[in-house]
Amino acid sequence: MAAGPTAAAAGLPLRPTDGTLYTFTTVQVPSDHAEPPYTLGYADLGRVRVLGQVVGGPPRIGAAVTVTAITVGPEAGHGGPGLVYAFQVAGP
């Protein structure tokens, strides 16, 4: 799944918007929001740790990530709220 607009452009007020991937897992079962496989991860954003879908390059613990937004729900063919947080993994 490709990343969408930045979190700020999508109106998702999360600060800071850059962080480090703490851990991740690849999910192999369908959900209301995504078809498998998809990756979920925790990212450290300043003093908080946030859960979100991981998109972009291959996930690596310690990788630099940027908060972005992805579309889920009717626009993506799944039930759900519309835009959600995701973490765009920086290149190698």
Domain ranges of the chain: 18-89
Strand partners, 12: none
pLDDT (tens digit, 9 = 90+) per residue, 39-89? 999 999 988 899 999 999 899 999 999 998 887 765 555 555 677 789 999
Residue 6's pLDDT is 52
pTM for the predicted model, two decimal places = 0.75
Higher local confidence (pLDDT), 12 or 32: 32
Residue 55's pLDDT is 93
Question: Is the pLDDT at 37 greater than 70, yes or no?
Answer: yes
Q: Which two tokens stand for residue 36?
A: 């498998």
